Amino acid sequence: MRVGVLMLAPEERHATGPARPGKGGTEVERGRSIAQQEATTAAISRILAEAGHEVVEIPVNDRFMERLKTAGVDIVFNTYAGAAGRASQFQVCAVMDLMGVRYTGSSAEVHALGLAKHTTKKILRHEGLPTPAFQTFYTPETPLDAMLRFPLIVKPSREGSSVGISEDSVVDDERTLRRVLERTLAVYGGPVLAEEFIEGREFTVGVLGNRPPRALPVVEVNFAAAGRGTQGFYSHELKSQDVIGTECPANVEVSLAEELQRLAVGAFRALECSDCARVDFRVDGEGHPYILELNTLPGMKEGYSDFPKAAAVAGYSYERLVLALLDLAAERHGIAAR
Ligand SMILES: Nc1ncnc2c1ncn2[C@@H]1O[C@H](COP(=O)(O)OP(=O)(O)O)[C@@H](O)[C@H]1O
Ligand SMILES: [Mg+2]
């Protein structure tokens, strides 16, 4: 097949200056994200070429549409997460839809839903899937829902990589809540979520496939190993330091692992994801799991990202995973994978 691989454009790679607040976080995060995406697309291009596919690099810039049109690809392998601003994740897919170009992974609509935690949570709730109780704020003055129990965590709805989440995002009283809401809204804009803070362990579960989607082995995010105990959560600072280890398969009872996997597949189906996604969880002290969010475009960096790590535990070499993702998309679109 002739396979397009979406790439960060060189001009984005070399762009300097501070990242826009609310548009992809700090400069450090931006640099890391660029390096990870470049390593990922380089590895994927190599694997596709070695498997006999014709690879066409497609940089995402102001000539993107023209390039898509002239490339004449059968399908695009999409891992594009953008350099500044999460929205580009669904915008590139929307452009491909507009041009009639098929691509791997979830659709533009699904990425747009997944990027908005408040809408994701409404869908999860509607489907009877557990997610922490929450309230959506557009201004810091909105009366507080009397059903919510402190502590609450305040987080922007449309960020990722824990952007906008710091050690003092967890609040114990209404006065502090208002202060943190005001600050978070000022930097990131609305909507901002105030969500019940689930103290306990943290897990993430990859889902691969369509008919049927299957959960990968459970990954535990190991705050205890970083000396954080059960108090730990992923602030932006912690996430960008890259100090928190993960363990896969997680050291949990089979019944909990199976429950997390069942819920991950349920969430994948509820949002109508395709091919792959990763679902983040917290489990409280009594063993009740809660879905925090869905990552509809999970990181795919070999030996680094949670998804390929979990896939490796399930027996997928990185090569096999990449080719499986291509096959899944080709099958979905009714095109032959070879
Ligand atoms: N309700 C919650 N209870 C406990 N910790 C939370 C909660 N919401 C978020 N966190 C912490 O913040 C991190 C980032 O939140 P998440 O909703 O996954 O957003 P993102 O990964 O898109 O930034 C989580 O990995 C977790 O450590
Ligand atoms: Mg997350």
Residue 197 Cβ < 6 Å to ligand 1: yes
Q: Which one of 89, 230, 292 would you pick to mutate in the ligand 1 pocket, going by the greatest count of ligand atoms within 8 A of its CB?
A: 292
Residue 322 placed within a domain: no
Strand order from edge to edge, sheet including 170-171: 134-137, 192-196, 152-156, 170-171
The verdict on the CB of residue 160 being under 6 Å from ligand 1 is: yes
**Calpha distance 249→276 (Å, rounded):** 18
Cα–ligand 2 centroid distance for 117 (angstroms): 10
Residue pair 105/275 in contact (Cβ under 8 Å)? The answer is yes
* pLDDT recorded at residue 338: 56
Which amino acid residue places its CA nearest to atom 12 of ligand 1? Answer: 234
CATH of the domain at 59: 3.40.50
Regarding the beta carbon of 203 and ligand 1, being less than 6 Å apart is answered no
Give yes or no: residues 54 and 145 share one domain: no
Asked if the structure places residue 266 within a domain, the reply is yes
Same domain, 46 and 33: yes
In a domain, 332, yes or no: no
Q: Name residue 186's amino acid.
A: A
Residue 15: pLDDT above 80? no
Give the rounded percent of residues in the chain with a pLDDT score beyond 70. 92
The predicted structure's pLDDT at residue 33: 82
Domain count, the chain: 3
174 with 223, same domain?
no
- Report pLDDT for 25: 56
Res. 59: pLDDT tops 50 = yes
CATH of the domain at 226: 3.30.470.20
**Per-residue pLDDT at 21:** 44
Instruction: Give long-range contacts, CB 8 A cutoff, 24+ apart: 45-50.
Output: 45/5, 47/318, 47/319, 47/322, 47/323, 48/3, 48/5, 48/77, 48/322, 48/323, 48/326, 50/319
Q: Give residue 229's pLDDT.
A: 55
Alpha-carbon distance of 107 to 104, in angstroms, equals 9
Q: Between 223 and 98, where is the model more confident?
A: 98
- The answer, yes or no, to whether residue 191 has pLDDT greater than 70, is yes
- Domain co-membership, 203 together with 311: yes
Instruction: Give counts: helices (H), strands (E), the chain.
Output: 11, 13
Let me know whether 154 and 204 are in one domain.
no
Ligand 1: which residue has its CA nearest to atom 10? 233
Query: Do 182 and 207 belong to one domain?
Result: no
Predicted local distance difference test score (pLDDT) of residue 231: 63
- The confidence score (pLDDT) of residue 17 equals 47
Domain boundary among 144, 179, 196: 196
Question: So what's the pLDDT on residue 18?
Answer: 44
CA of 235 to the centre of ligand 1 (A): 8
Cis, peptide link before residue 217, omega less than 30° from 0:
no
Regarding the beta carbon of 198 and ligand 1, being less than 6 Å apart is answered: yes
Whole-angstrom Cα distance, residue 45 to residue 207?
A: 23
Q: Would you state the structure tokens that stand for residue 21, as one six-digit string? A: 């607040």
* pLDDT in the model for residue 77: 98
Q: How confident is the model at residue 225 (pLDDT cuts 50, 70, 90)?
A: low
Whether 170 lines ligand 1, by a CB cut-off of 6 Å, is no
Record the pTM: 0.94
Both 233 and 275 in one domain: the answer is yes
User: Burial, 170: exposed, middle or buried (Cβ in 10 Å; 0-12, 13-18, 19+)?
Assistant: buried
The response to whether residue 294 sits with its C-beta less than 6 Å from ligand 1 reads no
- In this prediction, residue 324 carries a pLDDT of 98
Is the CB of 292 inside a 6 Å radius of any atom of ligand 1?
yes
Question: Looking at residue 104, what is its pLDDT?
Answer: 98
Contacts of 35-40 with C-beta under 8 Å, sequence gap 24+, read 36/299, 36/301, 36/304, 36/305, 37/8, 37/79, 37/80, 37/81, 38/7, 38/8, 38/13, 39/301, 39/302, 40/79, 40/299, 40/300, 40/301, 40/302, 40/305
Average pLDDT, the chain: 92
Q: Is the same domain home to 244 and 309?
A: yes
Q: What does the pLDDT look like over 168-182, one tens digit per residue?
A: 999 999 999 999 999
For residue 321, tell me if it sits in a domain. no
Is 335 contained in some domain?
Answer: no
Asked if residue 337 has pLDDT above 80, the reply is no
Q: How far is the CA of 310 from the centre of ligand 2 (A)?
A: 16
* Rounded Cα–Cα distance for residues 64 and 29 (Å): 24
Q: What is the CATH number of the domain that holds 180?
A: 3.30.1490.20
Same domain, 10 and 88: yes
Whether 115 is covered by a domain: the verdict is: no
Ligand nearest to the CA of 117: 1
Task: For residue 19, name the pLDDT band (cuts at 50, 70, 90).
Answer: very low
204/302 same-domain check = yes
- Asked if residue 334 is part of any domain, the answer here is no
Structure tokens that stand for 139 in this block: 């201004």
Enter the tokens of residue 60: 């995402």
Same domain, 310 and 208: yes
Rounded mean pLDDT, 246-261: 97
Q: Residue 81 is part of which domain span?
A: 2-103
Ligand nearest, relative to CA of residue 234: 1
* Same domain (yes/no): 55, 137: no
Task: Tell me which residue has tokens 């990922």.
Answer: 40
Whether 330 is covered by a domain: the verdict is no
